[in-house]
Amino acid sequence: MATGTEPAVEVVDLARTPLRELNARLHAAADEPDAPRSWRVSNPGGRHAIAVGLDAPFEVDVEGHVGYYCAGMNQHAAVRVHGNCGVGVAENMMSGSVVVEGTASQSAGATGRGGLLVIRGDAASRCGISMKGIDIVVQGSVGHMSAFMAQKGRLLVCGDAGEALGDSIYEARLYVNGAVTGLGSDCIEKEMRDEHAAEVSALLTRAGIDDVDPAGFRRYGSARELYNFKVDDAGEF
Amino acid sequence: MALRESALFSREVIAEIQRAAREGVYDIRGFGAKRRLPHFDDLLLLGASVSRYPLEGYRERCDTNIVLGDRHAKRPLELDIPITIAGMSFGALSAPAKEALGRGASAMGTSTTTGDGGMTPEERAASKTLVYQLLPSRYGMNPDDLRRADAIEIVIGQGAKPGGGGILLGQKISERVAEMRDLPPGIDQRSACRHPDWTGPDDLQIKIEELREITDWEKPIFIKIGASRTYFDVALAVKAGADVIVLDGMQGGTAATQDVFIEHVGIPTLPAVRLAVDALQELGMHRRIQLVVSGGIRSGADVAKALALGADAVSIGVAALVALGDNSPAFASEYERIGTAPGFYDDWQAGRDPVGISTQDDELAARFDPELGGRRLANYLRTMVLETQTLARACGKSHVQNLEPEDLVALTVEAAAMARVPLAGTNWIPGPPRDD
């Protein structure tokens, strides 16, 4: 039963409202103290660049499938996509969270510098490419070249990982529960110590996943052999 | 018998073979292409005479202002001069050097550009108009700086290395550079050559839309390409929605690239301008989308000739660094100590620049005075503008942008074919006749 004190939810129907207006309103609302904090976007219809450049602790629910770059460069907002995502969901995210209830296309969380990206289904190739501090939790599996040139942050995969995981990785930490088809250049399996097990448990908790055993994960990261040019490494690239 | 040097195995070639045999790795260096290439020197401007009348130097107006990015952006750039400062990274350059570029550009009412390492507060504060680059590495990329920028430049490539990613060697990855790039200090950093979240022109169009949405359609979007398949690349950049196309010929500078890449990949600036203008004209977008040309611009003569071929503006990198003090004879003894000499120094990758420009060494960087450097750059820009106006007035133009191909002739058959202007003294333009 409604109490009359529930926060107002601003509903924006993209079947009637231009995308430009949605994003402009979300941006303007960040500076308005009385603006609604909860937003619902209906009929996304696979449009690109939905809810990008947010810079306020809003809750934004997108009711359906989205195209490229949903929640790109997010700061502070909690965006939830009740559907599947196209390329580059939460690209370059700085903070806040993005939850994808379906699956995600390639380059999910690309270059993200902070915040949490959760994908309930699978993520395609290059998940976490060039990540720079973001945490990514994939409840399903990830495709090939995931965490390519990953610099910082954590990628946790509850399912399997495709070929060339962590190719040319820097200091990001990768955890995979299932099978890894193959590791990329300079990516090696590393010992799971207590602090890593705790990290896995914490990431699962933050992602709201309670049916996966943290003890099953293996850790991967950089061998740091390619950090400086050495002629004898030429064959490794 | 007199000593006879081989043309094929010159002393330079022999020295390089010996170096490669000794070190077992390719040569990485800064600067730009050093080989002789067809260039603006191979063109001449036709001054006015009986058939055309000139404007009075120093008396009649010859305007230099330009607008960049008015195709879609709410806030296009309005610059006083058609010469901008090209993207050069903090990392490749010291923070005081970046600040000096901003000071010099601002004093002359033009823009400067960030680089592969993010935006520094010094640079933003010193630059009235700052173009923020979005590169494949996305080092330091963040939405606050996007909003702080005056324009956004999506870098697809640069003339020194079309198809190649950046390099910054460990000796220049200081704590501050490492922090800005989210990398460990001291590593040899290799930037990606492809963007991480888009592939091909259709994706690029969507990427541009995202950047416009993030910044509420305020900022002009530039696309920077290295000159190679220029006609097609420009056409696709137009299709993707660029407001401005930045075209960097193979003479364009670099802070660190393999010598073999610098000297052997891409096409010179001269033919690239012609191809870019062809593409823009055929799409009906010449002057609606502005063309900024870089790669070997050194003087007002180069500026005037580039504009006459159809560019809207030019951009300088190496020349701007030289104006700041790079390769200065005042540091001759210090250059000698590191095995080089003023006029030859190109080890910008090494971080030992005695002038304090291409370094992250605090002691060396402290030698460089950003105020003085900014003044020198402004002086140099002012000189180039005066030269450009002088030449434009001589051709009877009341705005430098009114220079046109008809004002040009070529000194060589190659330049005539590439620029598609007649060989001097003839009406002959080599090459197949155009369809039109």
Could you read off the pLDDT of A48-79 as tens digits, one per residue?
999 999 999 999 999 999 999 999 999 999 99
A106: closest chain B residue by CA: B197
pLDDT at A235: 56
Query: Is A67's CB within 8 Å of B206's CB?
Result: yes
Torsion of CA B67, B68, B74, B75, to 10 degrees: -70
Chain B partners within 8 Å of A48 (Cβ): 206, 209-210
* Total domains present in chain A: 1
Q: Is B146 on the interface with A (CB under 8 A)?
A: yes
Q: What is the mean pLDDT of residues B248-255?
A: 97
pLDDT at A232: 61
* Contact status, residue B75 vs residue B150, Cβ threshold 8 Å: yes
Q: Is A129 on the interface with B (CB under 8 A)?
A: yes
Pairing outcome for strands B66-68 and B77-79: antiparallel
Determine the distance in angstroms separating the CA of A186 from the nearest CA of chain B, rounded to an integer.
Answer: 14
* Beta bridge partner(s), residue B112: B130
Q: Is A134 on the interface with B (CB under 8 A)?
A: no
Evaluate the CA torsion angle A12, A14, A16, A17 in order and state its sign.
positive
Q: What is the DSSP string of B44-68?
A: EE----SSS-PPPTTTS--B--EEE
pLDDT bracket for residue B340 (50, 70, 90):
very high
Of A48, A107, A132, the CB nearest to B206: A48
Chain A partners within 8 Å of B25 (Cβ): 229, 231, 234
pLDDT at A5: 61
Query: Is A49's CB within 8 Å of B213's CB?
Result: yes
B181: closest chain A residue by CA: A132
Please give the DSSP secondary-structure letter assigned to residue A8: P
ipTM: 0.95
Query: Is B197's CB within 8 Å of A129's CB?
Result: yes
Q: Return all residues near A226 (Cβ < 8 A) that are at least 6 apart.
A: A168, A185, A186, A233, A236, A237
Query: Is B187's CB within 8 Å of A228's CB?
Result: yes
pLDDT at B57: 84
Task: Please check the confidence at residue B119 and state whether its pLDDT lies above 90.
Answer: yes
* Confidence (pTM): 0.96
B199: closest chain A residue by CA: A87
- Residue A158 CA, chain-centre distance (Å), reads 14
pLDDT at A114: 98
Q: Which residues of B88-99 are buried (b: 16+ CB within 10 A; e: fewer)?
A: bbbbbbbbbbbb
Q: Is residue A3 part of a domain?
A: no
Q: Is residue A2 part of a domain?
A: no
pLDDT at B197: 97
Q: How many of the other CB atoms lie within 10 Å of CB of B340?
A: 17
pLDDT bracket for residue B160 (50, 70, 90):
very high
Of A69, A133, A151, the CB nearest to B210: A69
Q: Is A130 on the interface with B (CB under 8 A)?
A: yes
Of B24, B138, B214, the CB nearest to A111: B138
**Number of residues that this document lists for chain B:** 436
Q: Is B210 on the interface with A (CB under 8 A)?
A: yes
Please give the DSSP secondary-structure letter assigned to residue B423: B
pLDDT bracket for residue A236 (50, 70, 90):
low
Q: Is residue A220 part of a domain?
A: yes
Could you read off the pLDDT of A185-198 as tens digits, one per residue?
999 999 999 999 99
Q: Is B200 on the interface with A (CB under 8 A)?
A: no
Could you read off the pLDDT of B349-375 as tens digits, one per residue?
999 999 999 999 999 999 999 999 999
Q: What is the mean pLDDT of residues B161-168?
A: 89
* Contact status, residue A216 vs residue A202, Cβ threshold 8 Å: no
B23: closest chain A residue by CA: A231
Residues 24..63 of B with a Cβ closer than 8 Å to A: which? 24-25
| CATH for A164 | 2.160.20.60
- Domain B26-419 in CATH 3.40.50.880? The answer is no
Q: Is A125 on the interface with B (CB under 8 A)?
A: no
Chain B partners within 8 Å of A69 (Cβ): 197, 206-207, 210
Which residue range(s) make up the domain with A77? 9-236
Q: Is residue A114 part of a domain?
A: yes
Q: Is A96 on the interface with B (CB under 8 A)?
A: no
Q: Is residue A186 part of a domain?
A: yes
Could you read off the pLDDT of B122-148 as tens digits, one per residue?
999 999 999 999 999 999 999 999 999
Could you read off the pLDDT of B9-67 as tens digits, one per residue?
999 999 999 999 998 989 999 999 999 999 999 999 999 999 989 999 888 999 999 99
pLDDT at A1: 44
User: Residue A63 is inside which H or E element, if any?
Assistant: strand A59-63
Q: Return all residues near B49 (Cβ < 8 A) that are at least 6 apart.
A: none
Chain A partners within 8 Å of B23 (Cβ): 231
CA atoms of B13 and A44, how far apart (whole Å):
61
Q: Is residue A1 part of a domain?
A: no
Query: Is A228's CB within 8 Å of B183's CB?
Result: no
